Each structure stands twice: as C-alpha cells, then as structure tokens.
A = this chain, B = another copy of it.
Amino acid sequence: MTKKRLLLAGMEDYFETWRRAADSTAAGLDLVPYVPGQAFPGFPYLLIWRPVPELFASLPDLRVIFCLGAGTERLIADPSIPARLPLVRMVEPGLTQCMVDYVLWRVLYHHRRMWELEEAQAQARWAQHLYPAAWERKVGILGLGTLGQACAEKLAEFEFQVRGWSRSPKSVAKVACFAGTETLGEFLAGLDILVCLLPLTPETKGILNADLFARLAPRAALVNAGRGGHLVDDDLLAALADGRMGSATLDVFHREPLPPDHPFWLHPRVFVTPHYASETHPPSALVEIARQIERFEQGATLEHVVDRQRGY
C-alpha cells in the first residue's frame, strides 16, 4: 500500500520527532518537510503549526489543513489561508490525556495548598494543615470542548463539586453545565478553583478579569491553560495583592516565552509553567490524522473542522 504524503510546515523544530513517530506507527503517512520557495504540487494534506508566509501559493492541490494544536487562533488570523479549505483542529488522545494530567495535578496542588508544605520544608518545619475533602470544593471549568469535558469528567470522578461553562449547551455526567453569557455569573458564584480551557476568540479575550475574580470564593485559585489573552494580568496581580484571589497556575501568557522581568515569575502565589500543560503526541496524532484522511477520501465529513467565524 502506498503511504499517503503529508506536508509539514511551520513546525521545523519538531520535524525529526514527527518523522521518527511516523516510522514507528502504522498510520501509513509519509511526512515531507515544506521548503520555502519550492512548489508542492500533488500534496492534498498539510499539517501546520505557525503561519508560514507564501505557503499556500505553492500548494496548488491542497484540500485539507490540519492544525498541530487544539488552539487555532493564529491560523484563523492569517489572511493567507484559503477560506475554501477545511481547517481541522487537533483532537487526539495524547493531547487530551496530558491536559487531564495537568489540570488534575494543578487542581490538587491548589486543593491541598502545596505551597505551604514547600515553604515549611525549606525551613525544616513540620507544619500540618487541615484541608477539606474534595467533595467540599467547588471547581469550575470554563470551556467544555474535548479538553474541558475530559477534565470535568475526571474532576467529578475525584468527587469535586464540578461545574462547567460553555458557549453552547453541553452535557457531562456529574457536572453542572451552564451555557451562554447570561449564566456566567451563576456558574462562577463561589467557585474555589477555576480552570480556563476556552478557545481564544473576540468574546473570550480578557474574560479572566477583576469582575470575574470578584464572583469567585474568597482566595480562590485560577488555573489558566487556555491562552494568555484570556487573562488581564494586572487584574490578577491586584486580586492576589488584596486577597480576593489566593493563588494561580498559569501555563499561557500574552508573550511567550514570558519576559524575564514579568512580575508573575517571582510572585510567591503564581506558579508558572512554560506552555507545557499539554502537547500533541505525534504517534497518536498521526493515527488520528490518518483516520481523518481516510474518512475524507471516502466522502465522509471531516471532524473538528474549525468555524472561522466563531473562532474555534
């Protein structure tokens, strides 16, 4: 059987990792690196991360664009991407599983107030503290896409009181689901820990702001694994300073890498992770891309196609 060719662009740093993964899986894909200035006729499938100037003029036979990640806002903002081509965001088990790991780990960190133990250890001080049971904590997930649903389900299995919020109505077992802007206040009321897994769109930009923080429980924790643009940095710093918010884990930032002089780095209650929450796992992602290509060639509808008007 001839392998299908998949062109990779805007992800030069990762090409060798992906090629090794392709060699070790049965996905049946032949990965070819894009070379600027060269034409690639006969390539219907593209996997892309960063926008690449003048890419599309050299791909006359392109039919499907696969995005390397779940967040597609940079590609949507690139006017050079032909509107007629389907843009598929990444949904694959490796990415989902790693996000579940990350979110649970960080929620447990805030739930158990780990930083108090770290401070005590640095002083060789035996300092027990009481903590509530998981079922006494209210945890909210902003965004109930594939990642948000998986995290909400897992948090509910841990017996946290879980709420979820999304633009359109969703249903998740043992999770109180809220939909639409008019329910946002009710969703937020008294949450102890808020996790943001929203897509970045004009509607969600800056949603993590002083008004939102004021609705949470006192000294609530924020986990932002969405996008840096969701957060108003100064509002979080002010809310931490006046005790309205208690702590935060931030994985995403307005500028990445986070500039060395940003106050988040050395803030004792802000835990910075380097856009590391989750990433696409090449072996399982290649299997997923091959599955979608198979569907596409058999005339079935592609899944996870981005609605560029909606923004995700």
Q: Which residues of B contact A266 (CB under 8 A)?
A: 122, 124
A257 to chain B: closest residue by CB: B126
Instruction: Name the one of B98, B111, B135, B272 contacting A133, with C-beta atoms under 8 angstroms.
Output: B98
Contact indicator A274/B117 (Cβ below 8 Å): yes
Q: How far is the CA of A133 from the CA of B271 in the complex (A)?
A: 22
Contact indicator B158/A117 (Cβ below 8 Å): no
Contact indicator B100/A158 (Cβ below 8 Å): yes
Q: Tally A residues with Cβ within 8 Å of B.
A: 47
Q: A121-152: which have CB < 8 Å to B?
A: 121-122, 124-129, 131, 133-135
Q: How far is the CA of A180 from the CA of B273 in the complex (A)?
A: 42
Q: Which residues of B contact A154 (CB under 8 A)?
A: 157-158
Contact indicator B273/A133 (Cβ below 8 Å): no
Q: How far is the CA of A100 from the CA of B111 in the complex (A)?
A: 13
Contact indicator B101/A112 (Cβ below 8 Å): yes
Q: Known contacts being A101-B108, A101-B134, A104-B104, is A128 close to B158, with CB within 8 Å?
A: no
Contact indicator B126/A258 (Cβ below 8 Å): yes
Contact indicator B128/A274 (Cβ below 8 Å): yes
Interface residue A256 (Cβ < 8 Å from any Cβ of B): yes
Kindly supply a per-residue 1/0 record for chain A positions 14-41, scoring 1 wherever the CB is within 8 Å of any chain B CB and 0 otherwise. Answer: 0000000000000000000000000000
Q: Known contacts being A126-B256, A126-B258, A275-B128, is A102 close to B112, with CB within 8 Å?
A: yes
Q: A215-264: which have CB < 8 Å to B?
A: 256-258, 260-262
Q: How far is the CA of A273 from the CA of B127 in the complex (A)?
A: 8
Contact indicator B97/A134 (Cβ below 8 Å): yes
- Assembly stoichiometry (copies): 2
Q: A58-116: which have CB < 8 Å to B?
A: 94, 97-98, 100-102, 104-105, 108-109, 111-112, 114
Interface residue A159 (Cβ < 8 Å from any Cβ of B): yes
Q: Which residues of B contact A125 (CB under 8 A)?
A: 260
List 22 A-B residue pairs with CB atoms under 8 Å apart, sorted by A's residue number.
A97-B133, A97-B135, A97-B158, A101-B108, A101-B111, A101-B134, A102-B112, A104-B108, A104-B158, A105-B108, A105-B114, A108-B108, A117-B272, A117-B273, A120-B274, A122-B266, A124-B258, A124-B260, A124-B262, A125-B260, A127-B274, A133-B281
A-B pairs, top 6 by smallest CB distance, nearest first, are A126-B257, A105-B108, A124-B265, A124-B260, A126-B274, A128-B274
Given contacts A117-B272, A129-B276, 20 further A-B contacts (CB under 8 A): A94-B133, A97-B134, A97-B135, A98-B131, A100-B158, A101-B158, A104-B104, A104-B158, A105-B108, A105-B112, A117-B273, A117-B276, A124-B258, A124-B260, A124-B261, A124-B266, A126-B256, A126-B258, A128-B276, A133-B281
